[in-house]
Amino acid sequence: MTEENKDQQEQMREQAEQKAEEGKSQKEQMKEKAQAKQKDFKDEKSKVQSKQDETQGKVDDAEDQVFQEKGDNQFNQYR
């Protein structure tokens, strides 16, 4: 092999390694983005669950109040 062929072969090998590194880097970036989206989704899900729990608590309180008033009204009718 001539010196020129060796240089070309070495250059091609370096380019292949560089492309492999770029591919790995892109894969890592995509993985990080996916993990960030997953975390955002979990955070949003947690917020929604918290809001649902709060709303359900208000509904339960209102329901208790209605039953209490109903009971008071029935009691007052018999007095």
- What the block records as the tokens of 51 is 């809001």
The confidence score (pLDDT) of residue 32 equals 92
Q: Is 80 exceeded by the pLDDT of residue 75?
A: no
Quote the CA–CA distance of 46 and 54 in Å, as a whole number: 12
Quote the CA–CA distance of 32 and 72 in Å, as a whole number: 60
- Local structure of residue 79 (DSSP, 8 states): -
Residues 6+ apart with CB under 8 A from 1: 9
Quote the CA–CA distance of 24 and 72 in Å, as a whole number: 71
Per-residue pLDDT tens for 1-60?
Answer: 677 888 888 889 998 888 888 877 888 889 999 999 999 999 999 999 999 999 999 999
